[in-house]
Amino acid sequence: MQGTPITRHLRGNRSSAFRTIPQERRAGTILVLAAALLVMVFAFVTFTVDVGYITLTKSKLQSATDSATFAAAQELSRGLGPNPELSPTSVESIARAAAIELASAHDAGGLASVYLNPQRDIRFGQITWDATADSWSETLDVGPFNFVQVTSRRDQGSVQNGDSDLHLFFGPVIGYGTAKLTAHSAAGMLVGNGFKIPSGSSQTSGVLPFAFDLPTWDAMLQGTGSDNYTFDPATGAITSGADGVLEVNIYPEAANNGNGNGGGNNGNSNSWTPGNRGTVDLGNPNNSTADLKRQILLGLNDSDLAYFGGELSFANGPIDVNGDPGISAGMKSELESIIGQSRAIPIFTQVTGNGNNTTYTIVKFVGVRILAVKLTGSNKYVIAQPAPYSDATVVPDTTGIPIQDATIFTPFKLLR
């Protein structure tokens, strides 16, 4: 009989301890939690959608900027070399137009075309080797131009010319209605002074196996020479008559008539060394005429450059190469087939030996364009004029060749 009250007391305590929350209070708590969760979800969705939109727009701006830079850079070569086709002002105008046209072909951030302010967003200048800093140095607004940088924008507030701030979808709800975006790109054609072809590569370097002396080349750049041919860059046609670009005869003349003009074609005396002032072995020291003809038509290949460790450059000073007796009539058709095209030739400062035992000391490469060829009969000649040359095998120069004198360039490439 004594256990009954105790049992009731315990039951009473358990009932009090596990008493349930009223339905109304539980519903209110869930509503508060759900509202807080919805705010968090909405904020997350806002963040995700707008960040994705910003990222996509930034990517499209960058694509438009790279394309515009690429288009502008393609025009730079027309203003390079000792005798440029166009003035810096003309190159700048044409390159700006090309950049604007390419940018406008891209959409970004709700706009049908990307806008570039011609003066603010497209800048030109030079990129040159700084030996002191051991790096490439950029200088804007100085010609001749081998460097261009482009900036596309969505950061100009509410201006309605295509570069206004990017308007977000949900950002205004949390106090961020717009985003400021920019994209940058730069490209340049670096001054080159050598060629490199990896083993096994199918690339070729358009270097002619004909050495030319530095004094005659420099004299031509200073105004000593003939001007008997005109090259039309628009059509590639070559006609008789002056075009303001002096020429040299790279054929090894037997004698000089005393005024620097062999037969009226600026021929040059063969006084450097008897029996030789013509071809050089840019490859096998025992190059045959067939090898030389191949190099004229197709350029140097990886097998040729393998004799120089895969690279013809002046990082370690001048290069000594073997010589051959000279340009022969057997090369006539190959030379005629490249008339009007740009090529590179080695420039030498010193010669030792004679005939097949000649050694040339090569100090740089220059770009030329073959204008006329005559290798039979009397008064033979191979007439060339300075011309910019570029291909994918060109090695950037680190000897400090002034851009005003440069004729060899790397292809234009995006630098950033």
pLDDT for 231-264, tens place per residue? 998 898 999 999 889 999 888 654 333 333 333 3
Residues 309, 168 share a domain: no
Residues 376, 292 share a domain: yes
Is residue 20 one of the residues assigned to a domain? no
Lowest mean pLDDT among 180-194, 304-318, 342-356: 342-356
Is residue 186 one of the residues assigned to a domain? yes
Find the mean pLDDT for residues 344-369.
89
Is residue 115 one of the residues assigned to a domain? yes
The residue among 192, 220, 48 whose CA lies nearest residue 127 is 192
Q: What is the pLDDT of residue 1?
A: 46
In this structure, the strands spanning 135-140 and 166-167 are unpaired
Q: Output the CA torsion sign for 401, 403, 407, 410.
A: positive
CB 180 within 8 A of CB 125: no
Which residues of 181-313 form beta strands (DSSP E)? Answer: 181-188, 192-196, 212-213, 229-231, 238-240, 248-249, 311-313
Reported as a single tens digit per residue, the pLDDT across 191-210 is 999 999 999 999 999 999 99
Residues 103, 82 share a domain: yes
Residues 224, 336 share a domain: yes
Which residues of 2-114 form beta strands (DSSP E)? Answer: none
Round to whole Å and give the CA distance between 200 and 75.
32
The residue among 281, 371, 375, 369 whose CA lies nearest residue 328 is 375
Segments forming the whole domain that contains residue 363: 193-399
Is residue 5 one of the residues assigned to a domain? no
Residues 210, 163 share a domain: no
> And the tokens for 367?
């770009």
The residue among 348, 102, 319 whose CA lies nearest residue 212 is 348
Residues 253, 364 share a domain: yes
Q: What is the pLDDT of residue 399?
A: 84
Residues 335, 202 share a domain: yes
**Model confidence at 13, in pLDDT bands (50, 70, 90)?**
low
Q: What is the pLDDT of residue 64?
A: 97
CB atoms closer than 10 angstroms to residue 392: 14
Burial of 226 (0-12, 13-18, 19+ CB in 10 A): buried
* Buried-exposed string 245-269: b where 16+ CB fall within 10 A, e elsewhere: bbbbbbbbbeeeeeebbbeebbbbb
Reported as a single tens digit per residue, the pLDDT across 260-319 is 333 333 444 445 555 455 688 999 888 888 999 999 999 999 999 999 999 999 988 999
Q: What is the pLDDT of residue 84?
A: 87
Is residue 211 one of the residues assigned to a domain? yes
Burial of 288 (0-12, 13-18, 19+ CB in 10 A): exposed
In terms of C-beta distances under 8 Å and separation of at least 24 residues, what long-range contacts does 171-175 make, across chains too?
171/46, 171/50, 173/42, 173/46, 174/43, 174/46
Residues 180, 287 share a domain: no
Is residue 8 one of the residues assigned to a domain? no
Residues 299, 181 share a domain: no
Residue 144 scores a pLDDT above 90: yes
Is residue 221 one of the residues assigned to a domain? yes
Q: Which among 190, 213, 234 is the end of a domain? A: 190
Round to whole Å and give the CA distance between 308 and 321.
10
Residues 214, 288 share a domain: yes
Alpha helices in 74-132 (DSSP H): 88-104
> And the tokens for 255?
């004698």
Q: What is the pLDDT of residue 10?
A: 44
Round to whole Å and give the CA distance between 142 and 326.
42
Number of domains in the chain: 2
Residues 163, 202 share a domain: no
